[in-house]
Amino acid sequence: MDYLLYFPTSNLISKSIDMSLVTSKIEEMLGDEASYLLEHESKTISKDRLALPSSTFVDDIWSHSDRNNRVLGNLQWLFESGRLGGSGFLSILPVDQGIEHSAGASFAANPDYFDPENIVKLAIEAGCNAVASTFGALRIVSRKYAHKIPFVVKINHNELLTYPNTFDQIMFGNIDQAYDMGAAAVGATIYFGSEESNRQIQEVAQAFAYAHELGLATILWCYTRNNGFKVDGVDYHTSADLTGQANHIGTTIGADIIKQKQPTNNGGYKALNSGNSSYGKLDERIYTELSSDHPIDLTRYQVANCFMGRAGLINSGGASGDNDFADAVKTAVINKRAGGMGLISGRKAFQRPIGEGVKLLNMIQDVYLNDEVTIA
């Protein structure tokens, strides 16, 4: 199989790769869930109703929007970069955990990543479409690398040095700074459902509008956060209905790409409307017709809330654990078969030796390069 590796300083270079993660290998890593995930046929929202990732996604979808030519160019740069270049799928390395989770806790597993250059090197060596990180991490190496791989500059963060810890996304810089360092895109997080969410929505909407004026693409980390989302011992922060609505709001305020945690359950709205509680609005068809309890259908509901896939859904890779390689492949299979656009995986990749991190990211990418893993 061929792929295109794109750097803006050179021509497109065609290279042949050995597909190490063929279907049989994917099945092996999925174990007992292989047929459950690879043979599922969605009976909820038909794939024919979705805007699916493709080599012409920018032409087919974004060229009809109000995005200016510079935004279209940067989106195309993202889609043409790395091992997935030209496929319509994205593999992004995000390393903002030095702020979000504290540097020591994030980089103790591999102290090399205290040095931001190694973050960028990992993304390039692994053939990622882009690297996402903080103003400081990308600024300090921007002249060396901003023309070699698309930069996604994260403009807001929750920091963990305030005592007691608070949970609020605050601005760490501005759009002009991201533009000046040559970024292709900016990223931001909103904690939907939190007390601070109204301010965050307004701040990010304004920032994204200005980013588009300057020609930068936009990626939104759409996270739900409220202790009230835990009901009777069940955590609904990653329920399909609540995260789906977060995606819908995120797309509405100008996100070109949505980053979301993969759903683990459903029925958040129903749980929050039990007893004497009243929250939001729901329709039973969300659960009976638009989704099921299958993870691919739950994720498809997230895609549907991204304007039926017009804004691409990239799912989070999640925290590092005991079965990172198998978990990463499973997450990629679910995302792809649901109609998603890719994975943004950080801790599983950088909290290990760089060679293993490259291997893990390549395994994720191979799922998207494998034509036998189809849209359900």
Q: Treating both helix axes as pointing N-terminal to C-terminal, what angle do 354-369 and 324-338 enclose, rounded to 10 degrees?
A: 30
* Tokens (6 digits) for 126: 């692994």
String of DSSP letters for 113-179:
GGSHHHHHHHHHHTT-SEEEEEHHHHHTTHHHHTTTS-EEEE-EE--S-SSS-----EE-S-HHHHH
Measured CA to CA, the distance from residue 68 to residue 320 in angstroms comes to 38
33, 35, 38, 44 alpha-carbon torsion, rounded to 10°: -90
String of DSSP letters for 294-360:
SHHHHHHHHHHTTTTTTSEEEEE-----TTHHHHHHHHHHHHHHHT--EEE--HHHHSS-HHHHHHH
Q: Which of 121, 154, 259, 330 is catalytic?
A: 259
Closest CA to 81 of 185, 212, 208, 187: 185
259 is catalytic: yes
Give the catalytic positions in this structure.
Answer: 259
